[in-house]
Amino acid sequence: MINNNNNEVISWEDFEKVILQVGTILEARDFQKAKKPAYQLSIDFGEELGIKYSSAQLTKLYSKEDLIGRQVICVTNFPPRQIANFFSEVLVTGIVLPDGEVVLTSVERKVPNGTRLA
């Protein structure tokens, strides 16, 4: 089924399969081998999930220093994706602007790492 915006309509069960969790960025490094400018991020998701890694094309709107300590919302149940010599284990979510830049999706106040978006 397609809705008025030409988007495929999914079921509630489909949505429940996507695990979105909050993590805190511990480290951001330049990703020299990426085709497009990107950072390699280390993100802490708490005791249960631990530290996971992600590649994120955020270099135009965020400095590495801006990212450290920031809580972000990530998809944590996609399979790892190899990008050059790096395995991205989670997908950092964001809002894509008309010019293609990404504004991070984050939480309004600090929550425990690993908290799941409901």
Phi, psi of 94 (to 5 degrees): -165, 175
Give the pLDDT of residue 31: 95
Ordered DSSP codes for 40-99:
EEEEE-HHHH-EEEEEE--TTT--HHHHTT-EEEEE-SSPPEEETTEEE-SEE-EEEPTT
For residue 89, the model assigns a pLDDT of 98
Q: Would you kindly state where each structural domain of the chain is located, as residue ranges?
A: 18-104
CATH of domain 18-104: 2.40.50.140
Q: What is the pLDDT of residues 43-61, one digit of tens each?
A: 999 999 999 999 999 999 9
The residue written with tokens 């450290």 in the block is 68
- Block means of pLDDT (10 residues each) for the chain, length 118 residues? 73 93 97 91 97 95 97 97 94 95 94 95
Q: Which helix (H) or strand (E) holds 39?
A: strand 39-44
The predicted pLDDT at position 2 comes to 60
